[in-house]
Amino acid sequence: MTADGIADATADGTLSSTPATPRALARERTMARIVELGNAQLAECGAGELSVREIARGLGMVSSAVYRYVCSRDELLTLLIVDAYADLADAVDDALAEVDAGSEVDAGSGTGAGADPRARFRALATAMVRWAVVHPERWTLLYGTPVSGYDAPAESTNADGTRVMARMLAIAADAGGAPAAGERHEMHVDPEVQTLLEAHLVEFGVQADAEVGVRAVTAWSGLVGIISAHVFRQLGADAAAVGEQLLASQVELLADLVTGR
């Protein structure tokens, strides 16, 4: 067992069932409260004004005590980024599970085959749009202007930060990445790009070629871009008035890129 009473690995690699100590549970509750207070600060004043001292006030602690949990603004930022990535990815996974379950009911199979790739892409995109609209400040933290002087540590953020991209790659692989009928052409993929994409496809456990990867990454970049344009009101008041309809049309164009018509 670890010093905090968290279950550790046994000799065969499995986790022991030793319950966490009250100390460990108290720490877990405090960390959850820190994230909650950090998100409230984020919504009120933005990432650039985050303050660990304000977190301490919210917890009713002196500043020296809160540094046992989060030692700097950068560490607080990392906690909030990981929390946002995980929350967004959970929303996408819930949406994909729902559309897959609906497809099984419609088919009457119950085999777990899931929905077709285009329906899954729409579900993924819709979940991202809804999450961004409800949490604009957290979307900004993930996909807006980088916070000056801060570099997100990959070892902490990559696991949750790449979950939605992995779902996108899987959807593209299932669809074959095909464009619309009659429009297919050989795509030239630079050898260095091909090597990079193939490595990531293997990392995500997706069996597909580099062209599929290019289409998925392009659709992903486009999706983040159109959501950001909507959230940040970059297209003007007229476009904002028909934002949902415009987003729906743009999502369909991106779906063509990934799954074909």
Tell me how far apart the alpha carbons of residues 151 and 149 are, in angstroms, rounded to a whole number. 7
Determine the average pLDDT of the residues in 207-211.
83
How far does CA 126 lie from the centroid of its chain? Answer: 13
pLDDT level of residue 55 (50, 70, 90 thresholds): very high
What helix, strand, coil percent values describe the chain, rounded to 5?
70, 0, 30
Whether the pLDDT of residue 151 is over 50: the answer is yes
pTM of the predicted model, to two decimals? Answer: 0.83
Whether the pLDDT of residue 10 is over 50: the answer is no
Whether the pLDDT of residue 5 is over 50: the answer is no
What domains does the chain contain, in order, with CATH numbers? 1-71 (1.10.10.60), 82-259 (1.10.357.10)
Tell me how far apart the alpha carbons of residues 209 and 201 are, in angstroms, rounded to a whole number. 8
Whether the pLDDT of residue 223 is over 90: the answer is yes
Q: Which two tokens mark 225?
A: 């871009």
Can you give the pLDDT at residue 182? 47
Q: Higher model confidence: residue 63 or residue 91?
A: 91
Whether the pLDDT of residue 134 is over 90: the answer is yes
CA-based nearest residue to 138, from 73, 96, 223, 79? 79
Whether the pLDDT of residue 126 is over 90: the answer is yes
pLDDT level of residue 104 (50, 70, 90 thresholds): low
Return phi, psi of residue 15, to 5°: -90, 140
Looking at every residue in the chain, the average pLDDT score rounds to 84
Whether the pLDDT of residue 77 is over 90: the answer is yes
Determine the average pLDDT of the residues in 66-76.
94
Tell me how far apart the alpha carbons of residues 92 and 108 are, in angstroms, rounded to a whole number. 24
pLDDT (tens digit, 9 = 90+) per residue, 229-249? 999 988 877 777 777 888 899
Tell me how far apart the alpha carbons of residues 76 and 71 are, in angstroms, rounded to a whole number. 8
Can you give the pLDDT at residue 205? 82
Q: Higher model confidence: residue 112 or residue 105?
A: 105
